[in-house]
Amino acid sequence: MLSRLVLLWLGLSLVNVAAGANGLLGQYWPAYGTQKPQAVDWSRTDIGYYFVSETDATGFNIPKGQSISALKTFVSTAHSKRKKAVFTIGGWTGSRYFSDRVATSGNRTKLVAAIREFLVKYDFDGVDLDWEYPGSQGIGCNKVRATDSDNFLLFLKSLRATLGSKKLITAAIGASGLIGADGNPLTDMKAFGAVFDIINLMTYDVGGPWSPTSGPNCPLRTCNSDTSVMQVVQAFKKAGIPASKMMLGIPAYGYSYQLKSSTLASKRIDGYVSRVYQAKTSTTPKGSKTDSNATSTDVCGVRSASYSGMWNYVNLISEGILSSNGSVGHMGFTRYVDSCSATPFLFNPRTKVMINYDDAYSAGQKTAYAMSQGLKGVYTFDSAGFNTAVLKSIRNKLDA
């Protein structure tokens, strides 16, 4: 009787994920980090994503340093809270072999079988495909083919036929969408929308140390860039993806910039006064305490020695740069809110360092927009970056 009741609950719960009255919150749990699965705020989370498994020459694997014990705890904890547990394949460093794995019928069949076996073995509720990026270069040693998106769709149809409707199939897709054989973003993605339960829009990393000026990581409006939350949502809608299958990405981290001036220049953009877009140097300041510029080698064998400049929101508070309630800058930093992008930033005129990030205000603004557009909900990357106040703000907008 117990097993029958559990199966009944799982079936009903999947239906609720597909058609909940309130918006859903997904959170990517960084299995490579220090946060324990039990520390995820499951009370406000609907879907937990195990991040990450990576593609390899034969299928996919769990990277060294990520224990199977923690994976099992992640799944059991999610289920004990009556939440969904989904595992992710790919990511920035883990997408190298995606193109090969879906390039032929034989390879697609093998990958589908491997995913099904993994789902069953570890009791996951679905799979999330974070291919960065089909038809477009991600990290430098990725395999890329002009036919990637076509092959991806063939693979997805086979995966859906094998898993049926009771397992979630989701994807994290970049702001530009999927790239077609002609090298341009697909203008018709209806066939993909028919296969996926959820498409997680990667509306972050719009601005960073690689950008020509400082700027927000995840701007709500299109300000100094062609990309924004609003622009991406409308583009995916226009390409035929139902709003009810989209979840909007909210980054729990930001970036630091070394500006050229100790004063902030204002510019007017579509009626908004903005001061987040400033001239910067090529130097990236150190981010949080764990940020390092020690020489390292990436999965492609490329050596580098520079800071990432990344700051999780919680570290801005724990390291004393931001007040505990997030409203006031400390240690020489002043907090500002950019009206165009609807994002906060910190600036220290003495050191000329700017730090952009998202907080309860900006996350709430993005969530409210997502719900106004009929989206399924939002997700955070990642679960270790925000504190309770930010997650409360998101949850309140999802439930409004």
CATH of the domain at 162: 3.20.20.80
4 in a structural domain: no
Whether 198 and 320 map to the same domain: the answer is: no
Whether 3 is covered by a domain: the verdict is no
Give the separation between CA 349 and CA 346, rounded to whole angstroms: 10
Show the domain range for 262. 257-356
Give CA–CA dist 237/142, Å, rounded: 29
pLDDT value of position 4: 39
39 contacts 385 by C-beta, under 8 angstroms? no
Structure tokens belonging to residue 231: 């622009």
Give the residues across from 284 on adjacent strands.
Answer: none
Farthest-apart Cα atoms in the chain, separation:
70
**135-140 — which CB contacts under 8 Å span 24+ positions?**
135/178, 135/179, 135/180, 135/181, 135/183, 136/174, 136/176, 136/179, 138/92, 138/95, 139/92, 139/93, 139/95, 139/96, 139/298, 139/299, 139/300, 140/300, 140/302
The answer to whether the CB of 354 falls within 8 A of the CB of 347 is yes
In this structure, the strands spanning 198-202 and 246-251 are parallel
Q: What are phi and psi of 384, to 5 degrees?
A: -90, -5
In a domain, 110, yes or no: yes
Alpha helix (H) ranges present in the chain? 2-18, 68-80, 98-101, 105-122, 148-163, 190-195, 229-238, 313-318, 360-372, 388-399
Q: What is the pTM of this model?
A: 0.95
Q: Which helix (H) or strand (E) holds 337?
A: strand 334-338
* pLDDT string in tens for the chain (400-residue length): 334 333 444 444 453 454 457 999 999 999 999 999 999 999 999 999 999 999 999 999 999 999 999 999 999 999 999 999 999 999 999 999 999 999 999 999 999 999 999 999 999 999 999 999 999 999 999 999 999 999 999 999 999 999 999 999 999 999 999 999 999 999 999 999 999 999 999 999 999 999 999 999 999 999 988 899 999 999 999 999 999 999 999 999 999 999 999 999 999 998 999 999 999 999 999 999 999 999 999 999 999 999 999 999 999 999 999 999 999 999 999 999 999 999 999 999 999 999 999 999 999 999 999 999 999 999 999 999 999 999 999 999 999 9
Q: Do residues 377 and 274 both lie within one domain?
A: no
* Residue 5 in domain: no
**Is the same domain home to 206 and 299?**
no
CA–CA separation, 366 vs 229, rounded Å? 8
Q: 248 lies in a domain?
A: yes
Token digits of residue 338:
């950019």
